[in-house]
Amino acid sequence: MFRTLLLACSLFVWLFGAPGVSAYSVEDYDRCSAVENREKRLQCYEEAAGRKPKTDVPALEPAGQPPGRAAIPAAQAPSASAPPTDAPAGLAACRDHDYSADRLRCYDEAARYSWWRCLTDCVWGTGLFRAKKTDGIEACKTLCDDKERLYAYDRLAGLNPKPPNTSSYLSKAWLLDERSREEAGRWAIRAHRENYFLVYTYNGALDRQPYESVNPGTRLQDPETKFQISLKMKLLEDIPIPILDKKADLWAAYTQLSQWQFWNWSNSAPFRETNYEPEALFNIRMGDELVRLGGEPLKLQFVQIGLNHQSNGQSEPLSRSWNRLVANFGFERVPFDVVLKTWYRLPESADDDDNPDIDAYLGYGELWAGYRGRTCGIDYHAALMFRNNLRLDDGNRSALQLAFDFTCVGPLNCYIQYFTGYGETLIDYNHYTNRIGAGVMIRDW
């Protein structure tokens, strides 16, 4: 039945189709449908239909070639019976794994790579001399970073991989350069702010009154668990800004911050406070060099304009919320990055305003600064947040957050956070907090 319809369509196109456009034959269909690689199969159909010259269509990959991988040149293509001459037998057997994590695991097993040995050699310098005197697999084993080691393995195995992405942190976070946009894809959901889970925190200045007054009989404890989930997604891209000769993207983001009395088992471990924060951000990709400091440029990477809503989803008397117009500015001098966040609170009627004096405590902006480094394949990140209401009288209020994280297990970083000041959450906007905690964070760079 399907072949009959295909022949009928072919006849219709032959009779009424545009000049120069041919139709599929049954033989063309059989030949193209046998191609396992999806992209190559589509190219075969295009060629058979005459919509793409044959000279523009690369040769089909042989059976067994992993889909989505760069084709190996004919001179380097391995035979079915033996690995290529320039690739060790163990590595040649691993390159058929299309999934990079599986391929790296196979490479490491074939090379007998030891993460601990690599780390100790790097820390103590014992592997440096060995690396200079060796090449091939032994040289690959001295690369403790997974992406760098996989790239070296792939080259040694005869593949043609792309070098690891060396774009800056802000470029990767907001897809400011072509390489980052290519790797992320258009509709990818990405980390927005930090995503972390502080298993144990201690707050020496916990404000018990608001929660306990609404929940009689509940006694809050100083130890808590604190976690944050923050994601963003690009809705529109490459919006032209003629005045600036730049392009912009429209993002939608959502952040949820929770403080959980997880250790308070005698009171059923209640959630003390959860803040919900959706926002829309119009991100202008700037990339302008402002000044050179020590040979490295300081760049204005982006300017953002947006609308932000934050609330805790509670009813009176615990309800807290506000709406803001925001303007953010991202600066970067690798490996340092600074984001200045400013806002203007949209007025509310006195009857609807749950926190009329919130500006007196949280002010009109905050500064985020970070330093990102790597040693011996271990990434680490030190961060600082500072906020002040810019009042010079007795009503001056501030907040400071210090954080440090480093490679721990797989995509998780070990994470330590210290917060002191006002406005850690909305319920505490006018109450002083002094909290320290430890846990894990999902690495976002």
| Structural domains of the chain, ranges and CATH numbers in brackets | 2-56 (no CATH), 90-156 (no CATH), 169-442 (2.40.230.10)
Q: Is 367 exposed, middle or buried (0-12, 13-18, 19+ CB in 10 A)?
A: middle
pLDDT computed for residue 87 by the predictor: 61
| Cβ-based neighbours of 2, under 8 Å, separated by 6 or more | none
Q: Residue 23: is its pLDDT beyond 50?
A: no
Chain centroid to CA 23: how far? 44
Q: Which of 164, 160, 163, 161 is CA-nearest to residue 77?
A: 160
pLDDT computed for residue 410 by the predictor: 80
Mean pLDDT of 224-244: 96
pLDDT computed for residue 364 by the predictor: 97
Q: Residue 59: is its pLDDT beyond 70?
A: no
With beta carbons less than 8 A apart as the criterion, state whether 404 and 383 touch.
Answer: yes
- 25 catalytically annotated: no
Of 180, 309, 398, 431, the active-site residue reads 309
Angle (CA) 116-119-121 rounded to 5° is 105
Q: Residue 298: is its pLDDT beyond 70?
A: yes
C-alpha span between 164 and 183 (Å, rounded): 11
Of 311, 319, 398, 431, the active-site residue reads 311
pLDDT computed for residue 444 by the predictor: 74
pLDDT, tens digit, 9 for 90 and up, residues 376-391: 888 999 999 999 999 9
- 97 catalytically annotated: no
pLDDT computed for residue 74 by the predictor: 37
Q: Which of 194, 308, 319, 196 is CA-nearest to residue 259?
A: 196
Angle (CA) 385-387-393 rounded to 5° is 150
pTM of the predicted protein model: 0.77
pLDDT, tens digit, 9 for 90 and up, residues 247-270: 999 999 999 999 999 999 999 999
